[in-house]
Amino acid sequence: MKVPTDNSRRSFLKNSAALAGAGALAMNFNQADAASTGPLMAYVGTFSSPLKDVLPTQVDLPPGNGQGIHIFQVDRATGAMTPSGIVELGISPSCLALNAAGTCLYSANETDRVGGQREGSVSAFAISRADGSLKLLNKVRSGGDGPTYVSLHPSGRFLLVANYFGGSVAVLPILPDGRLGEATDIKQDSGKIGPARATNAPKGSFAFSGHDRTHAHMIQADPSGQFVLHVDLGLDQIFVWQFDQQNGKLLPARDHIVKLPAGDGPRHFHFHPNGRWFYSIQEEGSNLVLFDYEAATGKLSARQTISTLPPGFAGSNFCSEILVSADGRFVYAGNRLHDSIGIFAIGADGTLTHVADEWTRGNYPRSFSFNPTGDLLYCLNQRADNIAIFRVDIKSGQLKFTGQYVSVGNPSHMLFLDLGK
């Protein structure tokens, strides 16, 4: 994918203004958070299923080390995490989502069974605003096997679910009391499975993970909520849906399917704060792709591809997480096996330039999260059973290890909640 070199002065000024606006929004958000005096809580989802419940095709899940959802109180200045409780679950609540009011938490239960059948579930919890503790509200079917991702629709009325082993996505209504209803829509991915060897695989790579069947890996609405996007790693495709908010239905958008290079395996994505740039990370191709996003139609147009790995790297790697900083100036990309976070600067036109790579201080970084002020990054090293805490240099984007580790078995996903707001 070739990057155009003809950028007009008008386009440059427009994009620069967008970046500046995103930075101003992030600064205001950070200042507001810094003024909060209530407890800052963190919720960590884990892989916590016993050996007998691990799916035979799962290649990256050491079983049983997590205990469920781990709850911590976070020191705002140092980032230190103090255990505050555990919701013991042996069903691998590997991905979490919070509603906007901070009153409910939802978990994808990746290895659960429902009615004796191999099918995943999603749990809803009420959050105590006094101490951040969780109380189970209900649990419903996820609409497929192995739910690996959940996200809230901007309306707050629906939870979106991606079922990795089921190769399906589902829409679950959120009831007035926060409980979940049965799915209003389920879409099953189908098509030609990509090859085991990625088009853009690093030299010497043996990263063959997800091209055995369909694997829906992430689902999320765009900022407006008008469209919902999801990726299928096995099909090497991004699906774009127009969302019917009245009935909770997914309708194919005009440009419904976006194909990525064969075998590269799209895993996660993240919108830039300006809503016009969309970044996708490919698990087996070990690269990032920048797309221009048309908010009016949901159309994605690829414009740049860049490796997540340092120049000259040869060997196996599985990409994991991708995050855009709140100020819109940097992209962070997770590399498993290489065990690093790639740091990329965002140019005035959205294109990426490699800045640095930071060792994660543990193996197999599955995900990472920024604290609410964006000056700390928490890296969840799945196979090391720890969370490593880094200080973020806001100007350069680079990371510096604080020396702090937090022991959590098979950490997978982490969210913050400010109880002072």
Q: What digits encode the pLDDT tens for the residues 130-157?
A: 999 999 999 999 999 999 999 999 999 9
Closest CA to 123 of 91, 152, 154: 91
139-151 as b/e: b if 16+ CB within 10 A:
bbbbbbbbbbbbb
In the DSSP assignment, the letter for residue 52 is G
Q: Would the pLDDT of 254 be above 50?
A: yes
Closest CA to 264 of 333, 209, 190, 336: 209
pLDDT in tens, 316-332: 999 999 999 999 999 99
Q: 205 is written with which tokens?
A: 């790579």
Closest CA to 378 of 338, 406, 420: 406
Q: 314 is written with which tokens?
A: 């040869």
End-to-end CA distance of the chain: 44
Check if the beta carbon of residue 160 is closer than 8 Å to that of residue 151. Answer: yes
**What pLDDT is recorded for position 33?**
54
392-415 as b/e: b if 16+ CB within 10 A:
bebeebbbeebebbbebbbbbbbe
Closest CA to 236 of 219, 206, 257, 208: 257
Calpha distance 418→416 (Å, rounded)? 7
Check if the beta carbon of residue 243 is closer than 8 Å to that of residue 227. Answer: yes
Tell me the whole-structure pTM to 2 decimals: 0.91
**What pLDDT is recorded for position 37?**
75
**What pLDDT is recorded for position 1?**
38
Check if the beta carbon of residue 367 is closer than 8 Å to that of residue 412. Answer: yes
Q: Would the pLDDT of 202 be above 80?
A: yes
Cα-atom radius of gyration of the chain, to the nearest Å?
20
In the DSSP assignment, the letter for residue 174 is B
